[in-house]
């Protein structure tokens, strides 16, 4: 097992701040979707497990999350990744993912971006690495090149199949509620073109589905919210099998095919008997990037998915939080007059 530094060099400082705070970061993108890994400057988190530390981040240090990924230093698309110690002796590190809306359970594209970042920093040799997330251990496999990083994700499964939703505007859609490390409603009979030119209609439909799930008491799975909506259509490239629009918490669409969303889709395909174990499913994103994915049956039910994608380093530097800046903790509702 490879060993890694177990934390992003935590520091203790109060909020409000009296001194400037410096946060070291490395940015990457995975098939178009950005990840920001915090290298130094994170607050010290309480808890033994990664899940407990993620809960502490959300409860006591949410200002740090918003400072790293929200405007004016970030945006609604950006996902942050914070290295933390793992209580599992088989794991090289733990990681907490978060975006502009809050802390996430898992992030497939983020794990690929994290591995690429650790390789870039010289902290990870080619091979296999076990990483603890708030929802379980994932295993990444890489060669040291950008041609593809594989992530064996947590167990994924269908929570409710063939759900009928009557939307506010009178439209009816059907889909599956599934878990892939985050909660998803996955729909194919939506009738919308999965194209960038149709982005407004896709966003409106996803928001309507999200409201209907909450109204009908269908908004949780595996103790996490069903806060992602995945609309599937025909692929543009005949070498691929499906094209996805994934609406993420915070209101952005995933530029990548979405790792946890592709995992949830594999669980649906397996449950409906339309994809055999080991067969590759190639999922396009709205911008045309692709994840390869396949699964093995899980002894506990559902599937054990693996996704493969590419990532590239885009920036390396520091974020500066000036105590005189009214937006030092990000532009969030509490800072808007």
Catalytic residues, by residue number, are: 107, 258
Taking alpha carbons only, the member of 229, 235, 255 closest to residue 194 is: 235
| Contact between 145 and 187 (Cβ < 8 Å) | no
251: phi > 0 → left, psi -120 to 50 → alpha, else beta; which? left
Neighbours of 38 (CB within 10 A): 26
Cα-Cα-Cα-Cα dihedral of 34, 39, 40, 41, to 10°?
Answer: 20
Neighbours of 59 (CB within 10 A): 11
Residue with tokens 């010289």: 122
Q: Quote the tokens at residue 218.
A: 């269908």
Strands 127-133 and 93-99 come out as parallel
| CA dist., res. 175 & res. 268, Å (int) | 10
List helix spans (H) across the chain. 50-60, 62-69, 108-120, 199-215, 259-271
Taking alpha carbons only, the member of 77, 115, 83 closest to residue 6 is: 83
| Contact between 240 and 282 (Cβ < 8 Å) | yes
Name the packing angle between helices 259-271 and 108-120 (round to 10°). 140
């Amino acid at each position: 097992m490879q060993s890694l530094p177990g934390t992003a060099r935590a520091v203790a400082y109060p909020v409000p701040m009296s001194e400037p705070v410096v946060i070291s970061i490395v940015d990457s993108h995975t098939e178009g979707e950005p990840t920001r890994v915090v290298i130094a400057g994170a607050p010290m988190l309480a808890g033994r497990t990664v899940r407990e530390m993620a809960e502490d981040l959300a409860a006591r240090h949410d200002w740090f999350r918003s400072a790293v990924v929200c405007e004016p230093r970030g945006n609604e698309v950006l996902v942050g990744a914070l290295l933390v110690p793992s209580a599992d002796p088989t794991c090289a590190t733990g990681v907490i993912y978060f975006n502009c809306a809050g802390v996430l359970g898992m992030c497939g594209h983020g794990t690929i971006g994290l591995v690429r970042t650790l390789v870039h920093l010289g902290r990870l040799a080619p091979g296999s690495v076990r990483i603890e997330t708030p929802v379980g251990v994932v295993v990444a496999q890489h060669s040291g090149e950008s041609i593809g990083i594989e992530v064996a994700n947590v167990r994924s499964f269908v929570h409710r199949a063939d759900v009928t939703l009557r939307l506010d505007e009178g439209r009816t859609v059907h889909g599956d509620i599934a878990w892939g490390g985050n909660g998803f409603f996955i729909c194919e009979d939506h009738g919308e073109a999965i194209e960038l030119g149709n982005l407004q209609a896709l966003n409106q439909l996803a928001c309507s589905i999200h409201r209907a799930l909450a109204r009908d008491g269908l908004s949780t799975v595996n103790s996490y919210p069903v806060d992602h909506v995945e609309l599937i259509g025909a692929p543009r490239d005949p070498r691929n099998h499906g094209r996805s629009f994934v609406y993420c918490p915070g209101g952005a669409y995933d530029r990548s095919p979405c790792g946890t969303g592709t995992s949830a889709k594999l669980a649906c395909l397996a449950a409906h008997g339309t994809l055999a174990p080991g067969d590759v499913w190639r999922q396009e994103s709205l911008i045309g990037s692709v994840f390869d994915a396949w699964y093995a049956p899980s002894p506990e039910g559902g599937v054990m998915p693996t996704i493969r994608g590419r990532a590239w380093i885009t920036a390396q530097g520091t974020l500066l939080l000036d105590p005189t800046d009214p937006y030092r903790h990000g532009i969030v509702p509490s800072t808007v007059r």
